[in-house]
Amino acid sequence: MGARRDVVVALLLLMAMAVLSYSAVASGFASGSLRPLGAEYLERAASTPEVVTAIVWNYRGFDTLFETFVFFLAIAGTLSVLRLSSRQEREVRRNEEREPHRKMDEIVRVITKLVVVAIVAVSASIAIHGQLTPGGGFQAGSAMAVASLLLFVVFSKFVLERSGLTLRHTLTAYAAGLAVILVTVFLPVLMGGHLLQIDLLPGESGLLSLDVGEYTAVTFGFLSVFLVLGISEWIFKGVLREEVK
Please report whether residue 171 would count as binding another protein according to CB under 8 A: no
Of 130, 135, 188, 213, the one binding another protein by CB under 8 A: 135
Decide if 178 contacts 141 (C-beta within 8 A).
no
Could you give the CA distance from residue 227 to residue 83 in angstroms, rounded to a whole number? 12
Could you give the CA distance from residue 229 to residue 178 in angstroms, rounded to a whole number? 22
In the complex with another protein, the residue whose CB is nearer, 155 or 226, is 226
Could you give the CA distance from residue 193 to residue 147 in angstroms, rounded to a whole number? 39
- CA-based nearest residue to 53, from 132, 153, 159: 132
Angle formed by the axes of helices 233-244 and 86-98, to 10°? 140
Q: Smallest gap, in angstroms, from Cβ of residue 108 to another protein?
A: 25
Please report whether residue 204 would count as binding another protein according to CB under 8 A: no
Could you give the CA distance from residue 212 to residue 138 in angstroms, rounded to a whole number? 9
Of 1, 31, 102, 105, the one binding another protein by CB under 8 A: 31
Handedness of CA 15, 17, 23, 28 (dihedral sign): negative
Q: Smallest gap, in angstroms, from Cβ of residue 235 to another protein?
A: 11
Please report whether residue 25 would count as binding another protein according to CB under 8 A: yes
Stretch that binds another protein, among 65-73, 118-126, 169-177, 194-202 (CB under 8 A): 65-73
Please report whether residue 153 would count as binding another protein according to CB under 8 A: no
Of 77, 118, 125, 205, the one binding another protein by CB under 8 A: 77
Decide if 86 contacts 80 (C-beta within 8 A).
no
In the complex with another protein, the residue whose CB is nearer, 64 or 216, is 64
Of 60, 87, 101, 109, the one binding another protein by CB under 8 A: 60
Q: Return the number of other C-beta atoms located less than 10 Å from residue 56's C-beta.
A: 19
Handedness of CA 192, 193, 196, 202 (dihedral sign): negative
Please report whether residue 39 would count as binding another protein according to CB under 8 A: yes
Decide if 64 contacts 56 (C-beta within 8 A).
yes
Please report whether residue 29 would count as binding another protein according to CB under 8 A: yes
Q: Smallest gap, in angstroms, from Cβ of residue 123 to another protein?
A: 15
CA atoms lying within 13 Å on the CB side of residue 125: 5
In the complex with another protein, the residue whose CB is nearer, 64 or 112, is 64
Q: Which residues bind another protein (CB under 8 A)?
A: 6, 9-10, 13-14, 16-17, 20-21, 24-25, 29-35, 37-39, 41-43, 45-46, 49-52, 55-56, 60, 63-64, 67, 70-71, 73-75, 77-78, 81-82, 134-135, 138, 142, 225, 229, 233, 236-237, 240, 244
